Amino acid sequence: MNMRAARMHGYNEPLRIEEVPVPEPGPDEILIKVAAAGVCRSDYQLVDGYFKDPFPVDFPYIPGHEVAGRVVKMGSDVPDSVDYAVGDMVVVNPSWGDGTCRQCREGNEQLCSGNGRWVGFGPQGGFAEYMPVQFNHAIPVSEEAAKQPELLAPMTDAGVTPYRAMKKLRDTGKVGPGRVVGVTGIGGLGSYGIQYAKLLGAGATVVALARSDNKLDVAKENGADYVINIRDKSTEAIQNELEDLTGSRTFDAVLDCVGSEQSIPMAFALLGPEGVVASVGLMSHHVEIAQFPFVGTERTYMGSFWANHENLSEVLALTEKDLVKHNVTKVKLEDINEHLEALGRGDVVGRLVVTFDD
């Protein structure tokens, strides 16, 4: 039995839509029929070679790390105690740690310092009609939620990555009443980040910053108190606009969903004393910030990488209770290359999701 799959045959080459054999699940795996697979800028970067050193893959390779699908087969060693069965819809937690390192034992398998693996960056991903999954990384959802798998798949990255970062910002004590929080980059992650800043911000004023009015419109729809288009504006001009809107020229905390050579220095230029920047974006390899303001006003810079099983379970619960809005566009597998290119250009508003017929 064969399936359609979008496969890499080299870096900086278009994916090829091919007919390949349906994989057999290993003893500790399940086989799912993919219902939806999110298309992330990280997928574009994988093809572009950005992750060549940290996540080398063997060609031909199937990308796709945001995945939801129905269980069609169980491996021989999958225990009877799992809380799903053949026919159930599951969401795939993409971070597969080795279970032996300190990070894994603390529940942060996405930070595995041993032989960790990440779906779509090692194990074969979800840009295919079927996919094998380690049984302990499948999270079942209700049949009601299963009706819209295109809303489930993005939660495994776009929907959960900013959630973890926002929890970390909240725990610094710099978010709350009278505080001003900025969210930079209203793409796939930032459109969710705005919502988490409102949900977890304890009354903080939330300001979205982006270079596109279309994306800022999404930020408004998702709860931003104010928005600022930063295209071609100096730091002083942004500060003036921020002050007009909020009464403050600086942020107490910034959730950066871009991670570029421009966005990080801008975040710090807009940050007040004792402020915190949490970065989830990965556009650039290196960024620079001014050392004295960083040290002299006791600012903090923290990275936040993906999320753990608990974080994903939490955002799925928020989704099932309709507490999260989604800006999703369904696309076809055959059109994957043009959508990856659009992501590379920054032209996509919200999240693109490849869907497959049941």
Per CATH, the homologous superfamily of domain 2-157+307-355 is Medium-chain alcohol dehydrogenases, catalytic domain (3.90.180.10)
| 161-303 shares the fold of 2-157+307-355 | no
Determine contact, residues 125/63, Cβ cutoff 8 Å.
Answer: yes
Q: How far apart are CA 116 and CA 206, in angstroms?
A: 35
Residues of the chain with pLDDT under 70: 358
Per-residue confidence (pLDDT) for residue 260, from 0 to 100: 86
Rounded Cα–Cα distance for residues 156 and 150 (Å): 11
Distance separating alpha carbons of residues 314 and 299, to the nearest angstrom:
29
- Are 337 and 14 within 8 A, CB to CB? yes
Q: What is the pLDDT of residue 350?
A: 85
**What does the alpha-carbon distance between residue 265 and residue 7 come to, in Å, rounded to a whole number?**
37
Determine the pLDDT at residue 358.
52
Q: What is residue 284's predicted lDDT score, i.e. its pLDDT?
A: 73
Fold type of domain 161-303: Rossmann fold (3.40.50)
* Contact status, residue 72 vs residue 32, Cβ threshold 8 Å: yes
DSSP 95-145: EE--S-SHHHHTT-GGG-SSS-EETTSSS--SSBSEEEEEGGGEEE--HHH
What global pTM score does this model have? 0.94
Q: What is the pLDDT of residues 314-357, one digit of tens each?
A: 999 999 999 999 999 999 999 999 999 999 888 888 899 999 97
Predicted pLDDT at 188: 87
pLDDT (0 to 100) of residue 82: 95
Under 8 Å CB-to-CB from 353, ≥6 apart: which residues? 36, 37, 38, 39, 66, 150, 153, 154, 328, 329, 330, 331
Domain borders along the chain are 2-157+307-355, 161-303
What are the tens digits of pLDDT across the range 97-139?
Answer: 999 999 999 999 999 998 889 999 999 999 999 999 999 999 9
Total residue count of the chain as it appears in this document: 358
| Distance in angstroms (rounded) separating the CA atoms of residues 323 and 145 | 13
